[in-house]
């Protein structure tokens, strides 16, 4: 049996006529960049989040960068973020001109360890970028308290957490802005690159739109220098078709995760992911831990099962951050976990039969 890590084709086939119609309409209307399909998607996304503004951009990395720039974060500032994430979260801090300050992850939930934030605060700290990693909300209450106490901006990187919630409130709506990626493999994925920012702050929304559009809100009136970061009509139309399905798809992922958890609960050598109380985890990634990770991965591969590692090297230990001079002891949990984590196949269309097959092969590996 072949179990791919993700299967984007199956999702496409389930909504093919709608998608194909949407693509044809965009082409018929030659609405290739920005335009009505983009505005329609922005409105639908803002409405589903219950926020005032959605600013579409070219990708999830730009969404973070534009947020930092619009907030005026730059040279001389420090931004606190988490040691285990995709590099977009931290590289954009540097690109804005500020200094990246990493914090270790908490052992149970893979998100930022809130007990280790205060010790990283200096007079230069301006913001905290949270990552709801794997689709699991970070411990927002405590982080919000810290941000309120020190007047820091709270930015939520929701690239892996579309419509995840914490205490019945959707993540992305707790801070000054929430940033999203619609990279094809994300829970809500386009058929190319796309991203968005949500906020309730109108002044900030204008600044973001302006910065993302060469520094202008009106054609040929460039108030500042900006960048070119825009969503194209095809991606917007595809995302508008997919948006009504996202809750159902997230639920299916969640059920697959619960099934994995249940079936793997008696495998001593494995730690299955925990779900934070009061949070809705949308399982962008289903990551187990085991100290036989590499051998298990090879065994599964040999049995037709594709897996992945999110991420094999935690950010502070990357060559790109060598200049910060970090050691393994500075981020002990992230350091340990990078050798133990293994992401199993996870997507809404993953069949129960496939989950059982993956689990059987894992059990077989540990019995030999
Ligand atoms: C995917 C991702 C991004 C970047 O999104 P792109 O659309 O690929 O630029 C940022 N942060 C996290 C946590 C991600 O997983």
Most informative mutation of 89, 235, 310 for ligand 1 (most atoms within 8 A of CB): 89
In this structure, the residue with its CA closest to atom 14 of ligand 1 is 159
d(CA 220, CA 27): 27
d(CA 195, CA 124): 29
Is the Cβ atom of 181 under 6 angstroms away from ligand 1? yes
Q: Which of 244, 261, 295 is the last residue of a domain?
A: 244
Q: In this structure, are 47 and 191 located in the same domain? A: yes
Instruction: Please tell me the predicted confidence (pLDDT) of residue 99.
Output: 98
Q: In this structure, are 91 and 205 located in the same domain? A: yes
User: Concatenated DSSP letters for 255-309?
Assistant: HHHHHHHHHHTT-TT-BPPP--TTEE---SSEEEE-TTHHHHHHHHHHTTB--B-
Most informative mutation of 56, 58, 60 for ligand 1 (most atoms within 8 A of CB): 60
Q: In this structure, are 117 and 78 located in the same domain? A: yes
Q: Which of 214, 229, 244 is the last residue of a domain?
A: 244
How many angstroms does the Cα of residue 101 sit away from the middle of ligand 1?
19
Q: In this structure, are 221 and 262 located in the same domain? A: no
In this structure, the residue with its CA closest to atom 6 of ligand 1 is 60
Burial class (CB in 10 A: 0-12, 13-18, 19+), 134: buried
CATH no. for residue 357? 3.90.1150.10
Instruction: Please tell me the predicted confidence (pLDDT) of residue 34.
Output: 87
Is the Cβ atom of 180 under 6 angstroms away from ligand 1? no
Is the Cβ atom of 187 under 6 angstroms away from ligand 1? no
Sites in the chain below the pLDDT cut of 70:
none
Distances in Å between the alpha carbon of 190 and those of 48, 59, 232, 284, 285? Answer: 17, 10, 10, 15, 18
Q: Please state the domain count of the chain.
A: 2
User: Concatenated DSSP letters for 7-30?
Assistant: -HHHHHHHTHHHHHHHHHHHHHTT
Is the Cβ atom of 343 under 6 angstroms away from ligand 1? no
Instruction: Please tell me the predicted confidence (pLDDT) of residue 162.
Output: 98
Domain range for 298: 245-367
* Domain annotation covers residue 162: yes
User: Concatenated DSSP letters for 98-160?
Assistant: -EEEEEPBPTTTSSB-GGGTGGG--TTEEEEEEE-GGGPPP-HHHHHHHHHHHT-EEEEE-TT
* Domain annotation covers residue 2: no
Is the Cβ atom of 213 under 6 angstroms away from ligand 1? no
Distances in Å between the alpha carbon of 49 and those of 241, 254, 288? Answer: 16, 20, 30
Q: In this structure, are 153 and 73 located in the same domain? A: yes
Taking a C-beta distance cutoff of 8 angstroms, is the pair 66, 211 a contact? Answer: yes
Instruction: Please tell me the predicted confidence (pLDDT) of residue 276.
Output: 97
Is the Cβ atom of 159 under 6 angstroms away from ligand 1? yes
| Nearest atom, ligand 1, residue 59 CA | 7
How many angstroms does the Cα of residue 333 sit away from the middle of ligand 1?
22
CATH no. for residue 42? 3.40.640.10
Is the Cβ atom of 188 under 6 angstroms away from ligand 1? no
How many angstroms does the Cα of residue 305 sit away from the middle of ligand 1?
25
Is the Cβ atom of 86 under 6 angstroms away from ligand 1? yes
Is the Cβ atom of 67 under 6 angstroms away from ligand 1? no
Taking a C-beta distance cutoff of 8 angstroms, is the pair 208, 199 a contact? Answer: yes
d(CA 286, CA 273): 7
Q: In this structure, are 313 and 280 located in the same domain? A: yes
Q: Which of 189, 221, 244 is the last residue of a domain?
A: 244
Is the Cβ atom of 89 under 6 angstroms away from ligand 1? yes
ω into residue 232 within 30 of 0, thus cis? no
| Nearest atom, ligand 1, residue 88 CA | 10
Q: In this structure, are 94 and 188 located in the same domain? A: yes
Put simply, whether the predicted model's pTM sits higher than 0.85 gets the answer yes
């Amino acid at each position: 049996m072949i179990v791919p890590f993700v299967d984007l084709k199956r999702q496409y086939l389930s909504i093919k006529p709608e998608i194909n119609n949407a693509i044809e309409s965009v082409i018929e209307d030659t609405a290739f960049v920005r335009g009505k399909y983009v505005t329609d998607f922005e409105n639908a996304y803002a409405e589903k989040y219950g926020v005032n503004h959605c600013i579409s951009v070219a990708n999830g990395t730009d969404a973070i960068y534009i947020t930092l720039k619009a907030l005026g974060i730059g040279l001389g500032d420090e931004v606190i973020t988490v040691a285990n994430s995709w590099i977009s979260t931290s590289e954009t801090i540097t690109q804005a001109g500020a200094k990246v300050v990493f914090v270790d992850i908490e052992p149970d939930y893979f998100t930022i360890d809130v007990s280790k934030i205060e010790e990283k605060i200096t007079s230069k700290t301006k913001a905290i970028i949270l990552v709801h990693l794997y689709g699991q909300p970070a411990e927002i209450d405590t982080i919000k308290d810290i941000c309120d106490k020190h007047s820091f901006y709270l930015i939520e990187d929701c690239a892996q957490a579309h419509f995840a919630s914490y205490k019945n409130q959707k993540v992305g709506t707790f801070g000054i802005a929430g940033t999203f990626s619609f990279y094809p493999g994300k829970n809500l994925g386009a058929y190319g690159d796309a991203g968005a920012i949500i906020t309730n702050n109108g002044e900030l929304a204008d600044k973001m739109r302006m910065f993302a559009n060469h520094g202008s809100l009106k054609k040929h009136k460039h108030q500042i220098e900006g960048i070119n970061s825009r969503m194209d009509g095809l991606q917007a139309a595809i995302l508008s078709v997919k948006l009504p399905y996202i809750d159902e798809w997230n639920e299916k992922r969640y059920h697959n995760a619960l099934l994995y958890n249940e079936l793997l609960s008696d495998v001593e050598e494995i730690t299955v992911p925990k779900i934070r109380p009061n949070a809705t985890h949308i399982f962008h990634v289903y990551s187990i831990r085991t100290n036989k990770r590499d051998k298990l991965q090879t065994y599964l591969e040999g049995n037709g099962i594709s897996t992945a590692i999110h991420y094999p090297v935690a950010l502070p230990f990357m060559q790109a951050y060598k200049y910060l001079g970090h050691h393994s002891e500075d981020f002990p949990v992230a350091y340990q976990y990078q050798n133990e984590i293994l992401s199993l196949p996870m997507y809404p269309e993953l069949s129960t039969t496939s989950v059982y097959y993956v689990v059987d092969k894992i059990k077989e590996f540990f019995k030999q």
